[in-house]
């Protein structure tokens, strides 16, 4: 396991370099004046444009720009915004809120989705199975912003059961509603994936053998059936957490959460390339690490998998 983890980490290095290089090139190669939005409708003074161009080394060839950025990145320097603020400070302020929101959303997806999938997989074609299938289809069809406005108005404004907006610190109890809404669509996928896996593995030889040996039903389902049915679910949840760490712009915007999604959206609107690159680099790193974690969890979920 240890050598496998080291090999996978080494594999991440060229992927990280290639991805960040492409993002850096894509952002800074957009045609037009990258600082035009800073001066409103007026044209920026030539002296100001020259100073900003020198600060971000835009006159250098692109490989030199990227190598300089990569060197700073290895020392923990993500650069500065056009306003002079350290991008690391932006990440420190926004990323924890998005991380908490993503964890809450994935928690709902895992608990509700897997439970619904196991129950319906064991009792296929029954009333509960049909109810879950219809409910998941409804959740997949309804856009997230519709659920946001509807539940925010009903639960937060009309009935007063929850706070309609999230306070700056984003305490976990205030993230339950936005986290649930953020996870509804993927929750439906998790339920369907689990249902399919349980239904297929229920007819497998090793399940019939476990039942024939007289093992308790709880052990047959919880140890033998469920663990072997969660490979696709673990893969999906790991990738989903990586995606959610990219920021849920709609949910964060409606509930007033200061997260990565809002910062990326703001930076794109004002064409602040340095902030877009810095935030995206962190998201790429988080996504790669989540994929590594998923690979390592396979052996824990399915005892048939061993890493030599």
Domain range summary for the chain, segments of one domain joined by +: 2-74, 95-301
Distance CA 189, CA 196 (A): 11
pLDDT band at 14 (very low <50, low <70, confident <90, very high): very high
Token look-up 């396991």 returns 1
The pLDDT of residue 288: 86
The pLDDT of residue 299: 65
Model confidence over 179-233: pLDDT tens digits? 999 888 888 889 988 888 888 888 888 888 888 888 888 888 877 788 778 888 8
Model confidence over 128-171: pLDDT tens digits? 888 888 888 888 888 888 888 899 899 988 898 888 888 888 88
Residue ranges with strand state E in the chain: none
Q: Count H helices, E strands: the chain?
A: 14, 0
Query: In this structure, what token pair is assigned to residue 239?
Result: 């990738």
Distance CA 76, CA 79 (A): 9
CA 169 to chain centre: 20
For residues 190 and 236, is the Cβ–Cβ distance under 8 A? yes
CATH topology of domain 95-301: MetI-like fold (1.10.3720)
Q: Which of 275, 113, 135 is nearest to 198 (CA)?
A: 113
Determine the average pLDDT of the residues in 230-257.
Answer: 83
Q: Please report the sign of the dihedral spanned by the C-alpha atoms of residue 227, residue 239, residue 98, residue 162.
A: negative
Model confidence over 42-77: pLDDT tens digits? 778 888 888 888 888 888 899 999 999 999 998 888
The overall longest dimension of the chain from CA atoms, in Å, is: 83
Distance CA 249, CA 268 (A): 12
Q: How many CB atoms lie within 10 A of CB 263?
A: 26
The pLDDT of residue 69: 92
307: pLDDT strictly greater than 60: no
Q: What does the angle CA 4 – CA 10 – CA 13 come to, to the nearest 5 degrees?
A: 150
């Amino acid at each position: 396991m240890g050598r496998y983890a080291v090999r996978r980490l080494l594999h991440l290095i060229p992927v990280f370099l290639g991805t960040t290089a492409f993002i850096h090139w894509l952002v800074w190669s957009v045609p037009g004046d990258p600082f035009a939005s800073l001066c409103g409708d007026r044209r920026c003074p030539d002296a100001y444009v020259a100073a900003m161009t020198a600060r971000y080394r835009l006159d250098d060839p692109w490989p030199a720009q990227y190598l300089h950025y990569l060197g700073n990145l290895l020392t923990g320097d993500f650069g500065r915004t056009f306003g002079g603020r350290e991008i690391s400070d932006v990440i420190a302020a926004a990323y924890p809120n998005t991380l908490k929101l993503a964890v809450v959303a994935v928690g709902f997806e895992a608990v509700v989705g897997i439970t619904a999938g196991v129950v319906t997989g064991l009792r296929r074609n029954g009333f509960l199975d049909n109810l879950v299938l219809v409910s998941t289809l409804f959740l997949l069809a309804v856009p997230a912003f519709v659920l946001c406005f509807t539940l925010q108005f009903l639960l937060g404004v009309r009935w007063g059961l929850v706070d309609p907006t999230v306070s700056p610190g984003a305490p976990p109890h205030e993230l339950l509603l936005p986290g649930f809404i953020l996870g509804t669509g993927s929750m439906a996928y998790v339920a369907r994936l689990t249902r399919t896996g349980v239904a297929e593995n229920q007819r497998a030889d090793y399940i019939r053998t476990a039942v024939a040996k007289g093992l308790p039903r709880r052990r047959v389902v919880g140890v033998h059936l469920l663990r072997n049915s969660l490979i696709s679910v673990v893969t999906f949840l790991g990738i989903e957490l990586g995606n959610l760490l990219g920021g849920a712009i709609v949910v964060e915007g409606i509930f007033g959460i200061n997260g990565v999604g809002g910062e990326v959206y703001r930076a794109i609107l004002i064409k602040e390339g340095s902030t877009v690159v810095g935030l995206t680099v962190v998201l790429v790193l988080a996504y790669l690490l989540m994929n590594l974690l998923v690979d390592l969890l396979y052996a824990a979920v399915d005892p048939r998998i061993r890493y030599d």
